[in-house]
Each structure stands twice: as structure tokens, then as C-alpha cells.
């Protein structure tokens, strides 16, 4: 029997499991679905685990910590961590971590896939072609939005927002960006001559608005009916960040009324559900949260989360710690 006991709340790529098994006895949730909260708490109480590697779908709060009294650390298999009560973990002296960096390019590429697909109506055209009803080329068929030379607005110019913006270089786009701290992004300023602008101005000037902000009390429902009313009628909204940044019912109304031209979504306000009416719209593309779904990114996330958890088990500071003050 190994020194530590670890629980993984859902199967992750094997490279991460292999790393954990080098130091710990590892139990993995055998179902390809999140455990309901009460079942996760029962597992924590019964298992006596030293470490847990979990996902965004797991609620990690005081009740969770009460159920897992022997916990030495929690590793989140995600960049976002609004599922974790970090202040409560810190109060209890429990380090927690996330997985930034390893999925930056993959998520930025997904944003561009959605941008192209929405502007050029790729999925809508594909659906017609597969249906067998297409009768041949016509000059008014599937006319979409231009991309080259247009204005790209980046809401949240962190790692992923910066990478998304830099990918615009091949299309001669003007880049605008927002910053919650109002600090300039030196990379975007130098590489793209980008403009730091207020949120409202970004909405009014952008042809494409790509969301990359974390979910916080200040960004929840940042995109609502008031925000959509400021956008161009020819503008497209892309979200690969967090679903609740958009008030989804308001988005449905904006898309139905033509207040904006279209949207591409990889995340949703109440995953896995979508707002009523969203799925029936031709001017929206919906993906099942696949922004980081490349071999290198998912393996990298698994390995980083495992390394973080191993460090915490040993009492060391993890590479990407969310409460580093515990180690000062």
C-alpha cells in the first residue's frame, strides 16, 4: 500500500493517472459523468483521501472540506476555478491549484474555429448540403460576414485572450481589448498596435467580440440585453470562456430579432442545458465545451494537475497554486 490515497472525480487522460499512481493509491470515479454532490460527499467521508483531483463540475466548498478531513490538497483539472471556495480552502490551510497555460493555444484556436464558422455560416451550409435538397450554386446563398480587415474585440486580455488576438495578424484586423485592472497589454500593444478601450466602446466598434474573461461576480451576465443593444447588427459574439458571462435568454432574443448577426458558443450558462430556443437558431453555433479538447492540451492538463497534487501531498507548493500565501 502506498503512502497516500487519492480520488479522481472523473476519468482523465492516462498520463495523469500514471503520475498519481507513482506515489499514491488512486481511485477514479468509474462513470463517465460527474458524481452528484451528495454521492461525492459520501465518497469523501468514506474514503479518507489525502488528495483529490477534480473538475469544474465539482462544487468544492466548506461542506466538501468537512467531508474530507484528511485532505492535503485539491487539484482542479481546469483553468477556471469558480467552482472552488478558495478563501475557505485558505482559511483551512488547504492548498488548491488549477491548470493554466497548457490549454491556451487550443482554446484560442477553438475561438477562431467558432469565429470562422459563424461568420461564414459553415454549419448551416453543411446541414443543407447533407439534407440532399441543395439544387446548385446561387449568388444569394449563405452570404456571411467578412473577416479580413474587420475589428476584433477581446474581452479579457489574459493568456487566452492574448493568444486569440495574436492569431488575427494574418487577417489584418484591428484589435481592441478590455482590462479589468485597466492595465495595458504590452504584447498586444507592441505586436498589433491594439487599443485598450472601455467595455462599452469595444461593443460599439467591434465586428467580432470574443470573450476570455474569468467568471467573477463582476462578469456574471456581463453580456445582457443592454450589452447586445450596443453591438453592431452585423457583429458576432464568440464565447470560449465561461457560460454565465452571458445572460443566455437575452442572447436568444438578440439573435432572433437580428440585434446581432450571430454567435458561436462553447460554454453555456447552465451546462449542459441551453436556454430555450437557442438550439433552433441558424445564426448560432453551439459546441459541447471542447475548447481544450486536443491531445496535447488534455494530456498537459492531466499531467499538470497530477504534478500539482503530488506536490501538495508532499507539503510542497504546487506549480500553479491558487492560494500561494499558504507557502509564504
CATH code where residue 90 lies: 3.40.50.720
271 is catalytic: yes
Angle value at C-alpha 22, between 71 and 49, nearest 5 degrees: 20
Q: Under 8 Å CB-to-CB from 71, ≥6 apart: which residues?
A: 49, 50, 51, 52, 65, 94
Which entry of 88, 191, 204, 271 is annotated as an active-site residue? Answer: 271
Which triple of cell numbers denotes residue 262? 450571430
DSSP string, 244-262: GGB-HHHHHHHHHHTSSSE
Whether residues 156 and 300 share a domain: the answer is: no
pLDDT tens figures, 166-187: 999 999 999 999 988 889 999 9
pLDDT tens figures, 37-81: 899 999 999 999 999 999 999 999 999 999 999 999 999 999 999
Whether residues 116 and 197 share a domain: the answer is: yes
Whether residues 116 and 71 share a domain: the answer is: no
Cβ-contact 195, 177 below 8 angstroms: yes
Mean pLDDT of 292-308: 98
Whether residues 172 and 242 share a domain: the answer is: yes
pLDDT tens figures, 104-153: 999 999 999 999 999 999 999 999 999 999 999 999 999 999 999 999 99
Q: Kindly provide the residue ranges of all beta strands, DSSP E only, lying in the chain, ordered along the sequence.
A: 4-8, 24-28, 51-54, 73-76, 96-97, 151-155, 174-178, 195-196, 208-211, 236-239, 262-265, 284-286
Whether residues 71 and 219 share a domain: the answer is: no
Question: Closest Cα to residue 103, out of 243, 312, 286, 303?
Answer: 303
Whether residues 153 and 219 share a domain: the answer is: yes
Residue 132's pLDDT is: 95
Residue 181's pLDDT is: 82
Which entry of 59, 230, 289, 317 is annotated as an active-site residue? Answer: 289
Whether residues 93 and 210 share a domain: the answer is: no
124 is catalytic: no
Residue 302 has pLDDT above 90, yes or no: yes
Query: How high is the mean pLDDT of the chain?
Result: 97
Whether residues 93 and 234 share a domain: the answer is: no
Which entry of 242, 247, 298, 307 is annotated as an active-site residue? Answer: 242
Residue 182's pLDDT is: 82
Question: Closest Cα to residue 308, out of 294, 289, 327?
Answer: 327
Q: What are phi and psi of 177, to 5 degrees?
A: -150, 155
Cβ-contact 246, 223 below 8 angstroms: yes
Q: How many domains in the chain?
A: 2
Residue percentage of the chain with pLDDT more than 90: 95
Whether residues 24 and 158 share a domain: the answer is: no
pLDDT band at 252 (very low <50, low <70, confident <90, very high): very high
**Domain that residue 319 falls in:** 4-102+295-327
Residue tagged 497589454 (cell numbers): 185
What is the model's pTM?
A: 0.93
Whether residues 21 and 148 share a domain: the answer is: no
pLDDT band at 2 (very low <50, low <70, confident <90, very high): confident
Residue 1 has pLDDT above 80, yes or no: no
Beta bridge partners of 226: none
Q: Kindly provide the residue ranges of all beta strands, DSSP E only, lying in 24-105, ordered along the sequence.
A: 24-28, 51-54, 73-76, 96-97
Question: Closest Cα to residue 39, out of 53, 58, 17?
Answer: 58
Whether residues 28 and 57 share a domain: the answer is: yes
Whether residues 85 and 119 share a domain: the answer is: no
Amino acid at each position: 500500500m502506498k503512502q497516500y490515497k487519492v480520488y479522481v472525480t472523473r476519468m482523465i487522460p492516462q498520463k495523469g493517472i500514471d503520475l498519481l499512481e507513482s506515489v499514491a493509491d488512486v481511485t477514479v470515479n468509474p462513470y463517465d459523468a460527474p458524481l452528484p454532490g451528495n454521492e461525492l460527499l459520501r465518497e469523501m467521508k468514506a474514503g479518507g483521501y489525502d488528495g483529490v483531483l477534480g473538475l469544474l463540475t465539482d462544487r468544492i466548498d466548506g461542506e466538501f472540506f468537512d467531508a474530507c478531513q484528511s485532505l492535503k490538497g485539491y487539484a482542479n483539472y481546469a483553468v477556471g476555478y469558480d467552482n472552488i471556495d478558495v478563501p475557505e480552502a485558505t482559511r483551512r490551510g488547504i492548498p488548491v491549484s488549477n491548470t493554466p497555460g497548457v490549454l491556451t493555444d487550443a482554446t484560442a484556436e477553438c475561438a477562431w474555429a467558432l469565429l470562422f464558422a459563424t461568420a461564414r455560416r459553415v454549419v448551416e451550409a453543411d446541414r443543407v448540403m447533407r439534407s440532399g435538397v441543395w439544387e446548385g450554386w446561387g449568388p444569394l446563398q449563405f452570404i456571411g460576414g467578412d473577416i479580413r480587415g474587420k475589428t476584433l474585440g477581446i474581452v479579457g486580455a489574459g493568456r487566452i485572450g492574448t493568444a486569440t488576438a495574436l492569431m488575427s495578424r494574418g487577417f489584418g484586423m484591428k484589435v481592441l481589448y478590455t482590462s479589468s485592472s485597466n492595465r495595458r497589454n504590452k504584447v498586444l500593444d507592441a505586436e498589433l498596435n491594439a487599443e485598450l478601450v472601455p467595455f462599452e466602446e469595444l461593443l460599439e466598434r467591434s465586428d467580432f467580440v470574443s470573450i476570455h474573461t474569468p467568471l467573477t461576480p463582476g462578469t456574471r451576465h456581463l453580456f445582457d440585453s443592454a450589452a447586445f443593444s450596443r453591438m453592431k447588427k452585423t457583429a458576432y459574439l464568440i464565447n470560449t470562456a465561461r457560460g454565465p458571462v452571458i445572460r443566455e435568454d437575452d442572447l436568444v432574443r438578440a439573435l432572433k430579432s437580428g440585434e446581432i448577426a450571430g454567435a458561436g458558443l462553447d460554454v453555456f450558462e447552465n451546462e449542459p442545458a441551453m436556454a430555450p430556443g437557442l438550439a433552433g437558431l441558424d445564426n448560432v453555433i453551439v459546441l459541447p465545451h471542447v475548447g481544450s479538447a486536443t491531445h496535447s492540451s488534455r494530456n498537459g492538463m492531466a499531467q499538470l494537475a497530477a504534478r500539482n497534487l503530488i506536490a501538495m501531498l508532499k507539503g510542497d507548493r504546487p506549480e500553479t497554486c491558487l492560494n500561494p500565501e499558504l507557502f509564504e
